[in-house]
Amino acid sequence: MPRIINPELCVACGSCADVCPVSAISAGDAAYSINADECIDCGACEGTCPNGAISEA
């Protein structure tokens, strides 16, 4: 199951996007988001988020 980013917890630091091996994470206006069609569910992003904003969908 792909990961999602909770926009209320995301501080838009970009640490998740830096580790995504398939570039499924992109910057939005106030928070980052994960493209579910591109996410391979590797979990690399979840461990890098300083606020715990990333979880399974």
pLDDT over 80 at 37, yes or no: yes
**What is the SS3 assignment for 15?**
helix
Which residues have C-beta within 8 Å of that of residue 17, sequence separation ≥ 6?
23, 25, 26, 27, 32, 45
The model's pLDDT over 8-22, given as tens digits with 9 standing for 90+, comes to: 999 999 999 999 999
Radius of gyration, CA atoms only, the chain: 10
pTM of the model: 0.90
The answer to whether the beta carbons of residues 2 and 44 sit under 8 Å apart is no
